[in-house]
Amino acid sequence: MYSLAFSILFVSFIVLTLLVRFWLASRHIRHVLTHRSAVPAEFAEKIRLAAHQKAADYTIARTKFGLLTLAVNTLVLVGFTLLGGLQWLSLQIFQATGPGMAYQLALLAAFALISGAIDLPFDYYKQFKLEQRFGFNKMSKGLFFADLVKGSLLGAAIGLPLAWVVLTLMGKAGDLWWLYTWMVWSGFQLLMMVLFPTVIAPLFNKFTPLEDQSLKARIEGLMQRVGFASKGLFVMDGSKRSAHGNAYFSGFGAAKRIVFFDTLLARLQPQEIEAVLAHELGHFKLKHIVKRVVVMFAMSLGFLALLGFLKTQPWFYDGLGVNPLALPGQSNDAMVLLLFMLVLPVFTFLFGPLTSLTSRKHEFEADAFAAKHTDARDLVSALVKMYEDNASTLTPDPLHSAFYDSHPPASVRIRQLNLAVQ
């Protein structure tokens, strides 16, 4: 009875999520189309009509492509769960490996390979058709597949040992395995923050010290004013993959470094680059990063506690198309990890606006920080160029934006900055 009720609940949330997502996407497309013919008044003197229409077309194309991937991913989700895909896969692997840790790791690896194979044609189309169509793709096919191989090997090198630790804890650490797993997971996340800028990122991109001495002096002056210590200023060769531009800082503690995309440096003036960086530093000085990490750790603790409960509930497995007693002598630890990972987004999607709301609040605060330590007009100028260069629509549907966007709409964000100038 419980398993049937959970199956019905699961299907209900899938349908609800699909309806909401398709409704939001259709609203977004209609809204962007309605405003395609004219640049919004506040941007009329800064952005050309052709650029505005390109952004509208790019937004619509990406939204439609997103609906296609959503439909396929939903079918894959149902196939893995209610239609018995994971059950079948586990039986095939169990016959080949027998019981034990080898079976569990093989199940996780097989699922990752199958999921990756399903995603591959969509990733390829997005890069070499959609992004290419709008002039953003700079990646060769050789680089695309080299990234795929390196990413897969890196994922296996990091993911399999981590999975072994988690599965060992699940099997041997008793009822509080989820708490110990959370400690391991939290430590792993902090370790990745330290290793990413110096070990992982250089595997995919080239980072060179910033050579422009005038710009370097300007940025170092900004860092001194706001009290930010960095291990270095670097330029990343983002142009070998995409025409999109950005700037960010990464790392943790003494490993913090500031990174500029070469595409950004080529487009913005020094004072605009300084203003953009001031915004990013605002996130650090206002402790947005720390707050996000704390929230992430708290949510992961709650989700792992929930997983600890679901692990012992037969209805959770049965309700998702898996017989927990199908493999005698074999634990279902790897299986419950996969099931939980598959269904969690279905049940948490409607909470997305809360995350977006917090993120947009942080963006406003970082903009205000930048306006305090640099000229707000420089940040406005930089943002306008970045919106144009990245083909970001100036007219998103407000409800769609509230649900998905981590940044405020361009018009709202720039209006706030202009108030700072007055």
Mean pLDDT, range 309-326, rounded to an integer: 92
Report yes or no: 420 and 371 within 8 Å, Cβ to Cβ: yes
- Give me the percent of the chain exceeding a pLDDT of 70: 98
- The answer to whether the beta carbons of residues 245 and 389 sit under 8 Å apart is yes
Spatial distance between the Cα atoms of 381 and 386, rounded to a whole number of angstroms = 9
Please indicate if the annotation marks 279 as binding a ligand: yes
Q: What is the three-class DSSP state of 257?
A: strand
Tokens of 104: 């569990």
Residue 35 annotated as part of some ligand binding site: no
H or E stretch covering 340: helix 333-348
pLDDT tens-place string over residues 89-114: 999 999 999 899 999 999 999 999 99
Q: What is the mean pLDDT of the chain?
A: 91
Measure the CA dihedral 257/258/263/264, to 10°. Answer: 170
Given a cut of 80, is residue 250 above it in pLDDT? no
Q: Which residues does the annotation mark as catalytic? A: 280, 367
The rounded percent of the chain whose pLDDT value lies above 90 is: 66
Give the amino acid at 379: L
Burial 191-213 (b: 16+ CB within 10 A, else e): eebbeebeeebeebeeeeebeee
Alpha-carbon distance of 117 to 279, in angstroms, equals: 38
What is the per-residue pLDDT across 156-214, written as a single tens digit (0 to 9) for each?
Answer: 999 999 999 999 999 999 999 999 999 999 999 999 988 888 889 899 999 999 888 99
Query: Annotation-wise, does 283 bind a ligand?
Result: yes
Tell me: the pLDDT tens digits for 280-289? 899 988 999 8
- Please report the DSSP string for 8-37 in residue order: HHHHHHHHHHHHHHHHHHHHHHHHHHHTTT
Phi, psi at 236, each rounded to 5°: -105, 140
Largest distance between two CA atoms of the chain:
73
SS3 for 323? coil
Report how many helices (DSSP H) and strands (DSSP E) the chain contains, helices first: 17, 4
